[in-house]
Amino acid sequence: MKKILVLNGSPKNENSSTLTVTKAFVDGLIESGEYEVEYVNLSSLNIKPCTGCLSCWGRTAGECVIKNDDIPSFKAKVEEADIFIESYPLFFFGMPGTMKVFTDRMLSMMNTYRGQGAPEDGKSFHGIRNPKPERRFVIISSCAYTEASTIYEPLKMQYDYICGKGEYTFIGVPQLKTLIDLKNEKKITRYLSKFKEAGIEFAKNGKLSKETEDNLLKPPFTESGYKVFLDNFWTEEEEKGKNLK
Ligand SMILES: Cc1cc2nc3c(=O)[nH]c(=O)nc-3n(C[C@H](O)[C@H](O)[C@H](O)COP(=O)(O)O)c2cc1C
């Protein structure tokens, strides 16, 4: 069986809205009968922050000097996985801080920086050490905003520089928490079905078509309807706050 490894980077662990979508996508992958999956909550891992010594680049050939935390065993899982999925909420137009701490510790997977200029062809800035071209990397990130086509740009640019354009699959999921909180099971099931379909497509082709990517980015609510909903929600919350005084 091929391996899917999911890193759930939401601080809400099992209650993560993003994870709901990720599970639908994984269900689609698994339907092929070719994959088994392991889910790991980032918060369950003991991860020390990178000390910035850069030994992994030049002195220890891809080995981090920090050995007494969960990164060595988790990195081995990442290297073994056929599909590695990072699942997390968008925080301030980027990844949550805990995910950044994890990402920094993956520096040992990158080639040494020797003063080379930025690649002009969209390739990875450093290049991946010991690349495994058949390994797939998928990022699934949900958020509150509506404009998924623009607000994920800073995050995607970061992955373009790290992995290279086209070397990863990015699935942005706008307005998700509200959809989950409303508990309209019919609407949720209908919405999640497109992620399951995407998983089936990914298992078949090893990538998503542009059409599918654009379809996944479509928010569940209209912009005006969502605005009214949020206005009402926060007005009610403010009133509850006053009542507490
Ligand atoms: C600290 C913080 C920063 C956030 N920043 C953004 C943001 O920049 N854009 C956005 O659309 N949503 C933002 N959100 C909302 C979350 O991305 C959104 O609620 C997400 O769907 C939660 O996913 P989860 O349930 O998997 O944790 C932020 C939430 C928090 C707590």
Which tens digit of pLDDT belongs to each residue from 113-165? 888 888 888 889 888 998 898 999 999 999 999 998 899 999 999 999 999 99
Q: What is the model's pTM?
A: 0.96
CB of 173 sitting under 6 A from ligand 1: no
CA of 120 to the centre of ligand 1 (A): 32
CA of 59 to the centre of ligand 1 (A): 39
Output 61 or 173, whichever has higher pLDDT.
173
Residues ≥6 apart with Cβ < 8 Å to 216: 171, 172, 173, 194, 195, 198, 208
Q: What number is the average pLDDT over the span 185-200?
A: 96
Residue owning the nearest CA to atom 1 of ligand 1 = 91
- 241 pLDDT band, cuts 50/70/90, is confident
Phi and psi at residue 89, in whole multiples of 5°? -80, 155
- 245 pLDDT band, cuts 50/70/90, is low
Bridge-based pairing of strands 35-41 and 169-173 is unpaired
Residues of the domain holding 179? 2-244
pLDDT the model gives residue 203: 97
CA of 102 to the centre of ligand 1 (A): 18
If we measure between CA atoms, which residue out of 103, 98, 87 comes closest to residue 140?
A: 87
pLDDT the model gives residue 182: 86
CA distance 185 to 205: 30
Dihedral through CA 45, CA 49, CA 50, CA 52, nearest 10?
180
Number of folded domains that form the chain: 1
Residue 2 pLDDT > 60: yes
CA of 89 to the centre of ligand 1 (A): 5
CA distance 231 to 226: 9
The CATH number given to whatever domain includes residue 19 is 3.40.50.360
Gyration radius of the chain's alpha carbons: 19
Q: Which atom of ligand 1 is nearest to the CA of 15?
A: 25
Q: Are the C-beta atoms of 44 and 73 separated by less than 8 Å?
A: no
Output 242 or 245, whichever has higher pLDDT.
242
pLDDT in tens, 111-125: 998 888 888 888 898
Residue owning the nearest CA to atom 18 of ligand 1 = 143
- The percentage of the chain sitting over the pLDDT mark of 70, rounded to a whole number, equals 99
CB of 141 sitting under 6 A from ligand 1: no
